[in-house]
Structure 1
Amino acid sequence: MLLSDSAAWAGAYLALEWTIRVVMLVVVPFRRSPDAARSWLTLVFFLPIPALAIYLLIGRPTYPRWRRDRFAKLPKLLAIAIKQIAHSHFCRRPFLPSNLEEPALLIEKLGQFPTLAGNDVEICPNYDQLIDNVVSDINRAKRSVHLLFYIFADDATGRRVMEALGQAARRGIACRVLIDAVGSRRWSRRVVKTLTSHGVDVRRALPVGLLRRRSARADLRNHRKIAVIDSRIGYVGSQNIVDAALDRGLVNEELMVRVTGPVVLELQAVFAADWFMETDQVLDAPVLFPHRAPGDGAVAQVLASGPDYPDAGVGLLVTALIHGARERVVITTPYFIPDEALVQALKTAVLRGVEVSLVVPHETDHLLVHLAQRSYYADLLRSGVRIHSYREQFLHAKHITVDRDIALIGSSNVDIRSFVLNAEVSLVVYDRSVVQLLRLEQDRYFAASEVLTCEAWKARSILTKTCENLARLAAPLL
């Protein structure tokens, strides 16, 4: 009897596994890239029941219906801000040469924000100096301070910023802070408690919890790093509010930009959109989107991307920029997990005579991601892409220059997670002087890097190659 029962249970289990395999074979490829489908189906074939559980948790890069419904209201609720950004005399549209018109139009179609002239852009590669600048600008704030950061720590750096926010709030300045609930989870309770006690309105973005009525998915995160002070000064880039030496003995090296001018209003609009998504509060007061006399300066625009913006993929922009390159492309990123379209764009650019360089850190804080990204190097090296392994610190900066005319600086890595799953923000600047300043930083990276070669890369051990290739199978899921 027991033997018969065991055989029946085994048969039922086997039938369940094969049912999952067959159903997933139909479901998984729907509206998914071939690489992602292949990774999911490999997992399903070997581990069907765990694969189904994981797929139900993180298999579809979409937010819950209530959040999608709220996002659908956003354009109407922010109509005043969008109108002021697009039509005020302060936010005048610039003339662009023909080679820049196409990327500018693409960005506007993807993220709604137009190109705006009259911006001053300052490159900020010094970690501690950046924090000094942010604190100083908060101390001089007269109306509002808005911060949105993936990581906001209760450490020496975080406490400096919190103290500045507290002093601003006591002066009557409207201070609002958004922190990602997962990225800041180690410190979020203390940060929220401290800022609230100072009179700062602070919220967790995309909170996660089994018992939460509106819990977010743990893998869909708000990865943006934005500061906007008085709608006049903006910061955007890769750096979080946390000590440089965060984990495992690694010291982060970052790059942010400090901007003044009309493009700051686009950063303000991104913050206002995220604030509405988390609080259902509309920030459209005219004081947050002021008119000022236009000045000289760089042409720039902002692209917000993420699951809330299904057509605003920063990956699509990066691929398009590489296809449009004529002379030189330099990509700096801590995590490099490209999709097939990006790999082909890089190879095609080299064949067209474009000098393509990739700068990645030698050290890592995510071993599986590091192994997966190394699996792409051999193919890129053979095609002529130059890969620079930066050895001084953990290079967490995220920026791209294209020829002498275009600089992209933001929070997005060059990986599938940033392209599809994370909410990101990018500042695109069309200005030769800004590109030249960024290229000076890139030249400094080159000088502190080991240049990888095909011959040396081929000499890796069989074990190393095997681990990298196995990690690559999971690349679309990382």
Structure 2
Amino acid sequence: MQAAEVEGASAFLEGSSYPVRGGNLVRPLIDGEPAFRRICEAIEAAERSVWVTVAFLTADFQMPDGRGSFFDVLDRAAARGLEVRALFWRDNEGSGFKKEEVFSGFAEHRRELAARGAGFQARWDRAQKAYCHHQKSWVIDAGQPGEVAFVGGVNLNTHGMGVRGHGGVHARQAHDLYVEVQGPCAVDVAHNFVQRWNEASERSLPDGSWRDDGQDMAFPTAPSPARGAILAQVQRTVRAGQYADAQASPGGEAFPIAGGDLGVFRQYRQAIAGARRSIYIENQALGTPEIVEDLHAALARGVAVACLVPADANGFMRVARASPQSRPFFERLGALGDHPNFLLAGIAARGDDGVRRNIYVHAKAMLVDDRWATIGSCNIGGRSFFGDTELNLSFEDPGVVRELRRDLFAEHLDCDTSELEDVEALGLYAQIARANRLAHDAGQGAWQGLAFALDPKTYGE
């Protein structure tokens, strides 16, 4: 499949669920508290509807600024007469996830909804095998002139929320991202919701819905009006056999979703191949052989590459590291460190006791050449690329991407890179992270910022 060229950066996709659309306003949101604050503001201003897809939800989760629980926010919207719908993942036995992290809609959950008189509609949806419906999206006022959508990776749990302190992050457990989109691309987030709602696997079961009339939703008929000037595209991972309705999104072409959609995987590969100067990745994992090889190729042609990952590797990476069958992959991952223009880094915050503690990187983002970026729910790993249900938004705008890079680096490095070009900024990132690694190994907590270098050859051990 041919790519739609973007001058000076990477390329958008052809032949995926959703078209490239101009006229968007795109606003990245860094970390859980600011992201959920903005989402709540949009819900409070809503005039017609609130739709949300939920992957993980814990009972202790609270929205910012005293707004209460996730359900409090939905019920207040429903009490105002809004159409409020929540699409929850129901995990299969043996998925490996903790039951208290998934609102599966079983008896105890239904008792909770009944006790509070929950006024919103809900359906539950299983993924195949041990996979996850991992999308975290919101659509506010779908089909209305003020339609706004949010796509990202922050879970509805305390771990994802965290607290931002002065001059950096001190009490937060995790770093994450959302992205807000207003304009034509918001309709594709709405289309994805409708398609999943109508074909939710549990919809006909006695415990597969809540306050649901059993009727299918109508697909959107027109994109939202232009709200900006940014070129953007929604991409998905949908496993073959999960959904069947090929209804086109407005202005797009019918897509044979029954055969699946690996758009996010294809977009990552295409974007890395199109990089000319710099690649900056934030991801929960770096666990796909194809992406590792693509990074080797980019490094070999002189592209500066920095990857921010959890300093304490996630469970999938640790299990793979211990498997002899994965040795060739980890040798190639380790070999990335042989390139002088490559950095693998984690982040750690200094507490009031002076001790540095690692911050978990849960973000799923990539910035290319300071002009193109993708943000969403998709990890760089086999589960997310090929099995879980995922949603990303990619966009091309030098001003927005450069500002996002500046804001991320300000958080991680505690310095301003707004006057630096992308390659120079990545060079400074590597310089600070390597100096911080030396301080880390010497048992010193007085670093600059949060970032410190990791060794690709031992990562995950």
Query: Counterparts of 1:73-222 in structure 2 under 5 Å?
Result: 97-98=6-7, 103-104=11-12, 107-109=13-15, 111-157=16-62, 160-182=69-91, 185-186=99-100, 188=103, 189=105, 192-195=110-113, 197-206=117-126, 216-217=128-129, 219-222=130-133
8 Å Cα contact 1:322-1:329 kept in structure 2 = yes
How many positions carry a matched residue from both structures? 351
- Is 1:240 the counterpart of 2:155? The answer is yes
1:82 paired residue number? none
Do residues 301 (structure 1) and 233 (structure 2) align? yes
Q: Distance in 1 between matches of 2:222 and 2:62?
A: 31
CA distance 1:194–1:250, change in 2 (3 Å): same
SS of the residue aligned with 1:337? Answer: coil
Helix, strand or coil at the partner of 1:356: strand
Q: 1:321 — aligned with what?
A: 271
Mark the CA change 1:206 to 1:145 in structure 2 (over 3 Å): closer, same or farther: same
Q: Which residue of 406, 413, 420 corresponds with 1:440?
A: 406
Report if aligned partners of 1:408, 1:429 keep a CA contact under 8 Å in 2.
Answer: yes
TM-score (norm 1): 0.65
* Cα displacement (A) at 1:297: 2.5
**AA matched with 1:379:** A
Instruction: Quote how far apart the aligned CAs of 1:362 are.
Output: 1.3
TM-score when normalising by structure 2: 0.68
Amino acid at match of 1:363: D
Letter in 2 for 1:239: V
Cα distance 1:415–1:433, how it changes in 2: closer, same or farther (>3 A)?
same
The alignment partner of 2:99 has SS state of coil
SS in 2 for 1:129: helix
Asked if structure 1 preserves the Cα contact closer than 8 Å seen for 2:25 and 2:227, the reply is no
| More helix by percentage | 1
Mapped partners of 2:51, 2:333: distance in 1: 40
| Bigger Rg over Cα | 1
SS in 1 for 2:19: coil
Aligned-partner Cα distance in 2 for 1:193–1:437: 46
C-alpha separation between the residues in 1 aligned to 2:221 and 2:373? 25
User: Which moves more between the two structures, 437-446 or 365-374?
Assistant: 365-374
2:217 to 283, 295, 299: 283
**Other-structure match for 2:337:** 381
Q: Distance in 1 between matches of 2:199 and 2:58?
A: 23
Instruction: Show the counterpart of 2:196.
Output: 274
* Rounded Cα–Cα distance in structure 2 between residues aligned with 1:269 and 1:348: 36
Q: Distance in 2 between matches of 1:377 and 1:227?
A: 35
Contact 2:185 2:223 in 1 (8 A): no
Q: Extract unaligned runs of 5+ from structure 1.
A: 1-94, 208-215, 460-464, 473-478
1:157: Cα distance to partner?
A: 1.8
Contact preservation (8 Å) 1:226, 1:267 = yes
| Residues in 2 aligned to 1:452 and 1:315: alpha-carbon distance in whole angstroms | 30
Contact 1:371 1:468 (8 Å CA) reproduced: no
Match runs of 1:269-418 below 5 Å: 269-278=191-200, 279=203, 282-284=216-218, 288-289=220-221, 293-308=225-240, 310-339=260-289, 341-366=290-315, 368-369=317-318, 372=321, 377-384=333-340, 385-392=342-349, 393-418=359-384
SS of alignment partner, residue 203 of structure 1: strand
The Cα offsets for residues 79-131 of structure 1, whole Å up to 9 and x where unpaired, read as xxxxxxxxxxxxxxxx975556x722xx231x231111121112211422222
Counterpart CA distance in 2 for 1:172 and 1:352 is 57
1:258-290 Cα offsets, whole Å, 9 max, x none, are 2211111111111112112213853225xx555
1:258 maps to which of 180, 187, 203: 180
Q: Supply the distance in 2 between the matched residues of 1:343 and 1:292 (Cα, whole angstroms).
A: 38
Distance, in Å, in 2 between the alignment partners of 1:311 and 1:132 is 32
TM-aligned CA deviation for residue 204 of structure 1: 2.3
Query: Amino acid of the residue matched to residue 17 of structure 2?
Result: Q
Q: Measure how far apart 1:136 and its partner are.
A: 2.4
Provide closer, same or farther for how the CA distance between residues 313 and 367 of structure 1 changes in structure 2, counting only shifts above 3 A: closer
Instruction: Please tell me whether the aligned partners of residues 127 and 244 of structure 1 are also in contact (alpha carbons under 8 angstroms).
Output: no
Q: Distance in 2 between matches of 1:167 and 1:438?
A: 33
The one-letter code sitting in structure 2 at the alignment partner of 1:127 is: G
Residue identity in the other structure for 1:388: A
Aligned Cα RMSD in Å? Answer: 3.3
Moved more, 363-372 or 161-170: 363-372
The runs of 5 or more residues in structure 2 that have no matched partner are: 92-96, 163-170, 205-214, 241-256, 322-328, 350-358, 415-428, 442-454
C-alpha deviation, 1:255, in angstroms: 1.0
1:423 to 382, 389, 404: 389
Deviations 1:352-394 (A, max 9, x none): 1111111112134527537739765421101342112222321
**How far apart, CA to CA, are the structure 1 residues paired with 2:50 and 2:132?**
22
The structure-2 alpha-carbon separation of the partners of 1:174 and 1:191, relative to structure 1 and needing over 3 Å to count, comes to farther
Q: Is the Cα contact below 8 Å between 1:313 and 1:420 reproduced in 2?
A: no
The amino acid across from 1:200 in the alignment is F
Contact between 1:135 and 1:161, CA under 8 Å: does it hold in 2? no
SS at match of 2:406: helix
